[in-house]
Structure 1
C-alpha cells in the first residue's frame, strides 16, 4: 500500500514508543504480516484467539469504541476448547451466543481482564493472551503485532520457540520464505547476538532441552563403569546459573 510509518514527513502514523523495540524489525521486508486497518459495524468483532507467532500487539481506536475481555495464556476460558498442541481452537458459539451463555461466568474468574477502549486510546495485548473484541459502535482501529524486549526476554524466547517448535502454526510469512525460524535466528544473531543466546537458552529450558552446560558435564547421565569419573550434585537452583 506504500504507507509510511515513522516520524518523517509524509508518514501516516508512528509506532507508540512506549512499547520499546520490535525484534521482528530485524527481518525488514521479510517479516510476517503485522499491521492492519480494521473497520467494522456495531456488534461486529472477533471471537477468542491468541495473536499469531507468539507476538504481542497494540490496538489503537481511531473512531468508535471497543469492548475487550482478556485472559492470560494458561487460563481456561469458558466455552473455548483448545487442542493438546494448541493448533486448533474451537468455540461452538458466535460472539453474541458466547456473551449470552458464558460472559457472566467468565467475568467471575480472577484472571479476567475487561474494559472499553474509546477513540484515541490504545490497548496492549501481551503475547499469548486470549482476547475477544466487540465493536460497541461502528468504528475504525489500527493494530500492529510485534515482539517486544521484556526484562527477562520472555517475549523473545516465546517467539523463538514458536517459530522453531510450531512450524506448522507459523503464519503471515511470504511463501518464498521456507524457514522463518532460521531466518529470524540469523538476523537476530547479526544484530543482537547476546540477547539471542540468552533467549534461546530460555527457550531450550522451557522445551526441556539440555543446555550446553548440562550437556558438557552430563548432569544426570550414567558414567562409564571403571576408571575415573566425577559429577556435580546440582539442585533446583541450577536454573539460576547464567
Structure 2
C-alpha cells in the first residue's frame, strides 16, 4: 500500500531568517521547515566526519567509547517502538564496522533482513560531555523552556521512593543519534508533543510528515493504536482512514537542520550512514500542545483503573503517578513548571521596566515576548483549573523562590537567552542580584497572591503582578 505525497517541506537559508520571522512563519503556523547555513562553525562537523563525508566512527570509540547508550534494533518491533538494547558506544561502533565489512549497505530495511541494523538513539551527549561543546544551539531554537528547566530542576520527584535521579525526572532532551544506511524510526509524534529540531552532522535522511489535522487517519477506529510503518502492508480493516492521509516529504542533506512542529506525526529513514543532533523543546508557543497531551493521557490512565477507584485510598494520586511514568510528568509537575516560568517572566519584565534599555520599554520586542509568555501561561492555568486535578499541592511561594539560588540561576539564563534573541547582546552579570531586588522592593511577595498552589492562584498572581507593573508604568510615564 503506497502513501500519497501531497507536498514537500520548504528549505530556507537560516542565516537570512530572523527570530521574529521564524516565529511568524513556523512557530505560529506550526509548519515544518529545513534550515541551511547554521552549522558551519560546529566542532562536531569537523571531529565527527571524515574527509569523504562518512562518519568518523573511530573518533567515537576513542573519545566516548565507555558511554552506555540505548540502541534500537530496527528489525524488531516492541509494541509501538523498536526493541532497545543497552551497550557501550565502543560495542555499537564495533557492530557497525563489522556490518560494513560485510557490505551491509546492500541490506534492505524489511523486518527479515533488518534485524542486524542497530540505531543509537537518545544519547544524552550534552549531559555526559558538557565540556566538549559539540555544537551551538541555533538562535531560532534557543527559547527552550524544557531543557533550561531540566538543567536546574527535576521534572518529577518520586515521593514514594525518594528517588534522586532517573532519566525521566532530571535528564535533558538533547540527543545524539547514529545509524547506518537503512536504519529508521517508526511513525510517531514527539514526546510531550514538543517541538524538535534535528541537525544532520553527516549523512542523509528521508522524512515523511502528517499534519495534526490528519493524525486520526493513522489510528484505528478506537483511536488507541497507530500505524507502525507506513510502508508495510497496513490493514485497511484496522486503519480505515490510512489511504486518505496526505503526506509531506523531504530529503534532509548533510549540514541541514529540520524543524518538526508540535503534533506532526513523522517517519524517518537514514538513506546514508548518518549522525544527527536532536533537541525536543517547548515554550509559550506550544504549551497548549503539552497540556492537551497530559489531559488526554490522564483521562486514559483514569479510565484504565476505574475498576479499583472505590477501593483505592488515593485514586487521584495513583492516576498522577501513572501519568508521570507514562508521559514523563503529571499535572502537579506541569503546574510547578509553568509557575516557575511565570515567576521568571515577571522578574524579566520588572527588570526591563526599571532599566534604561528602552525609553518606552513596553513597546520593545522583548517586553512583547514576555507579555505573550505570561498570557500563554495564564491561558494554560485556566485550562488546568477546569479539571481541578492539580489543586491542593504544596505552595510555590514567590518570595522563597526569589531567594533560591537555583531559581535565580534559571532566571539569569532565561534572561540571557531573551537578550540574545531580541537585543543581540550579552547579559550584565550584575543583573542576577538586580532581578530579585527589583521585585522585593515592589512588594509583590508580601501579598497573599504570591502563594501559588492551584491553577487559579497562578491566574491571580499573573493578574496582580501585571496590574502592579501597569500602575508603576503609569506613575513613571513610560
Establish whether TM, by shorter chain, passes 0.5: yes
- Which residue does 1:3 correspond to in 2? 129
Check whether the contact 2:342–2:377 (CA below 8 A) recurs between aligned residues: no
For residue 190 of structure 1, what is the aligned residue in structure 2?
A: 343
- Residues 1:131 and 2:253 aligned together: no
Alpha-carbon distance between aligned partners in 2 of 1:12 and 1:143, rounded to the nearest angstrom: 12
**Contact 1:54-1:127 within 8 A present in 2 as well:** yes
Measured in 1, the distance between the counterparts of 2:221 and 2:255 equals 34
Residue 122 (1) aligns with residue 257 (2): yes
Q: CA RMSD in A?
A: 3.7
Moved more, 126-135 or 25-34: 25-34
Matches within 5 A, 1:12-161: 12-24=134-146, 25-29=148-152, 30-31=154-155, 33-76=172-215, 79-81=218-220, 84=223, 88-91=224-227, 94=229, 96-97=231-232, 112-149=247-284, 153=285, 155-161=286-292
TM-score w.r.t. length of structure 2: 0.35
How far off is 1:67 after superposition? 0.2
Cα 1:28/1:74, change in 2 over 3 Å: same
Given that 1:49 and 1:132 are in contact with CA atoms closer than 8 Å, whether structure 2 keeps it comes out as yes
Deviation of 1:143 after TM superposition, in Å, equals 0.4
Q: Deviations over 1:169-199 (max 9, x none)?
A: 76346xxx99421331231122124555422
**Residue aligning to 1:171:** 327
CA deviation digits over 1:30-54, x for unaligned, max 9? Answer: 3554121111122221111111112
User: More helix by proportion, 1 or 2?
Assistant: 2
Alpha-carbon displacement from aligned partner over 1:188-233 (angstroms, at most 9, x marks no partner): 1221245554224444677894998xxxxxxxxxxxxxxxxxxxxx
CA distance in 2, matches of 1:61, 1:21: 21
Question: 1:37 and 1:10, CA in 2 relative to 1: closer, same or farther beyond 3 A?
Answer: closer
Aligned to 1:216: none
- Structure 2: how far apart are the matches of 1:44 and 1:95? 15
Structure 2 runs not aligned, ≥5 long: 1-126, 156-167, 299-322, 347-370, 388-454, 457-478
SS of 1:62 mapped into structure 2? strand
The alpha-carbon deviation at position 58 of structure 1 amounts to 0.1
Q: Take 2:138 and 2:221, find their aligned partners in 1: how far apart are those partners?
A: 32
Kept after mapping to 2: 8 A contact 1:164/1:181:
no
**Superimposed CA distance per residue, residues 115-152 of structure 1 (whole angstroms, 9 cap, x where no aligned partner):** 00011000000011111101111211110001145xxx
- The whole-number CA distance in structure 2 between the counterparts of 1:55 and 1:196 is 16
CA distance in 1 between counterparts of 2:341 and 2:150 reads: 9
Q: Are the aligned partners of 1:157 and 1:200 in contact in 2 as well (CA < 8 Å)? A: no
Tell me if structure 1 keeps the 8 A contact 2:207–2:250: yes
CA separation in 1, counterparts of 2:208 and 2:140? 22
Farther off after superposition, 42-51 or 9-18? 9-18
C-alpha distance in 2, partners of 1:156/1:82? 28
